[in-house]
Amino acid sequence: MSLILISSERFAEHQTPPGHPERAERAEVMDQVASRWRARGGEVVAPRAATTEQLARVHAREYIGLIAETAGRAVALDPDTYTSPESHEIVLLAAGAAVEAVERVMGAGSGAALAMVRPPGHHAERHRAMGFCLYNNVAVAAAHARAQGAARVAIVDYDVHHGNGTQHIFESDASVLYVSVHQFPFYPGTGSAEEIGTGGGLGLTVNLPLEAGAVDDDYRIVFEEVVVPVVRQFRPELLLVSAGFDAHERDPLAGMRLSADAFAAMTAALRRVAEECCDGRMVLVTEGGYDLHALAASLQAVVETLASPSLEPGSIRWPSSAIPSNRGRAAAAAAKRALAPFWRFI
């Protein structure tokens, strides 16, 4: 599998107050992963800024104007979301990285791209910034893929928080499937199993709300019983992943207990289904992840999984935590109940 990393050292310039979890050191971890990839002969591409046209497919023009006015200034946009004077340029590069990743993968017709960006995007709504997110990078990517001719795009979001912005942007859109696995109840409050989309998008919002404390086996169950079967039946022409690493056991913001190997297993499971549905076309866009060691290990595990030459059927090795937990079964059962009219489940 060919893998391209989209990254920019400039992401570190999006600075937040000292002690804030969305700090520049995250960008440095991403730079280290990119350097290691380059040292192995891998391709690392610097992103271009997203255009207003690309952003306006998923954000209101008044909102894009409001964010442009923060250029050169430090502004608090919501209780968690700040800009530094450089942030305006950086958020355009982050959304542009997601666009670049889509163009590379769609242009090549196969392969994967990993856009290592900050700030994250999945809480950003059409009209407002929220939860460290200014522009919804993965939503901009999905809309760009549609504009490039992809009839159906799937987004799988395994960040520990529910991607309220992504869900709301596409909830009535029959061409975009949104599947989220997240801690619930938790920030931002949305993401119950009963939220299944609206209008033409009914059944195309799939939420797997896991109680705090979920372990690797819980994620295996929801992936095997719901995430993979639904994506397979939807038959996307491109698979996008909101790759957040804050469900790791060391993360300071959330209460899940995933190992770095579980991120490799989720990536492998998604790669398999992308290979079945769309010649392996897959774009990962980073979201949260606030423990630097966990972020480094998990990102590296994802890169290794995508760079490995082939995945044989049955080769996905889920780590077992040996901690009994019923959280995965409960979340899978709730999602199946809510979505039974729309999908076939095992």
203 binds Zn ion (CB under 5 A): no
Q: Smaller CB distance to Zn ion: residue 121 or 244?
A: 244
Kindly provide the b/e burial profile for residues 232-264, where b requires at least 16 CB atoms within 10 angstroms of the residue's own CB.
bebebbbbbbbbbbbbbbbbebbebbbbbbbbb
Residue type, 98: A
Residue 123 is among the residues annotated as catalytic for this protein: yes
Site string for Zn ion, 154-183 (x = CB under 5 A): -----x-x----------------------
Which helix (H) or strand (E) segment holds residue 44: the answer is: strand 43-45
Q: How do 153-157 and 176-183 pair as beta strands?
A: parallel
Q: Give the range of 54-62, 153-161, 268-276, 315-323 binding Zn ion by CB under 5 A.
A: 153-161
Query: Which listed residue (59, 88, 123, 248) is catalytic?
Result: 123
Q: For residue 139, which of 168, 104, 112 has the smallest C-alpha distance? A: 168
244 binds Zn ion (CB under 5 A): yes
Determine the length of the chain: 346
Residues 11-50 that bind Zn ion (CB under 5 A): none
Both tokens of residue 264?
Answer: 């490799």
Total interface residues for Zn ion by CB under 5 A: 5
Give min distance, CB of 2 to Zn ion, in A: 28
Check binding of 288 to Zn ion (CB under 5 A).
yes
Give dist(CA 176, CA 203) in Å, integer.
Answer: 11
Closer by beta carbon to Zn ion, 258 or else 278? 258
Nearest-CB residue for Zn ion: 288
Q: Is 172 exposed, middle or buried (0-12, 13-18, 19+ CB in 10 A)?
A: middle
Choices 191-199, 220-228, 233-241, 244-252; region in contact with Zn ion by CB under 5 A: 244-252
Active site residues: 123
What does the binding site for Zn ion look like in residue numbers (CB under 5 A)? 159, 161, 244, 246, 288
